[in-house]
Amino acid sequence: MVMPPSSSSLLVTWNVSSSPQPSYTVRYHPTSTADPAQLEAWPEATPSSPLTILLENLQPYTNYSVVVVASALCGNVSSEVVVALTRQALSTPPRDVTIAAVLPTRVRVQWSRPASPNGLITHYNVSADVYKFYQG
């Protein structure tokens, strides 16, 4: 089972199906670039406790493919690939913000999506302060 406790981590747990207990490693990779045929090239983590590991320093709101590999004297066996999504986080600021006067009482504000949205952006809040300038 894979659960996302935060925007930058996944908690992976599994059950033992044999005795004696083999050693385990966990391989993981962002799903968008994960090639199951290249499993050996995926980053690897070794659990500090027998049946659980916390994968950390992951990207927010990203699908990760996760595989548990059991190693014993007779060889290795891998679990099925499980895909899990890390939680959302705050986005980076919008890019390329510009403002242009359209009329004496109107302006046009434009921007590009953030480089790292880190989740679903449902809306933007635009606020303005009005300053009066006098020449004199």
pLDDT digits (tens, 9 = 90+) for 11-26: 999 887 666 677 889 9
The predicted pLDDT at position 18 comes to 65
Residues 71 and 125 in one domain: no
Residues 113 and 65 in one domain: no
Backbone dihedral angles phi then psi of residue 39, each to the nearest 5 degrees: -50, -35
Domain count, the chain: 2
Residues 55 and 94 in one domain: no
Query: For residue 30, which of 68, 2, 61 has the smallest C-alpha distance?
Result: 61
Query: Is position 135 within any domain?
Result: no
CATH number at residue 62: 2.60.40.10
Residue range(s) defining the domain that contains residue 72: 2-85
The predicted pLDDT at position 46 comes to 84
Residues 102 and 81 in one domain: no
Residues 81 and 95 in one domain: no
Prediction pTM value? 0.79
Q: Which residues lie closer than 8 Å to 81 by C-beta, 6 or more apart?
A: 34, 36, 65, 66, 67
Query: Is position 98 within any domain?
Result: yes
Query: Is position 136 within any domain?
Result: no
Query: Is position 59 within any domain?
Result: yes
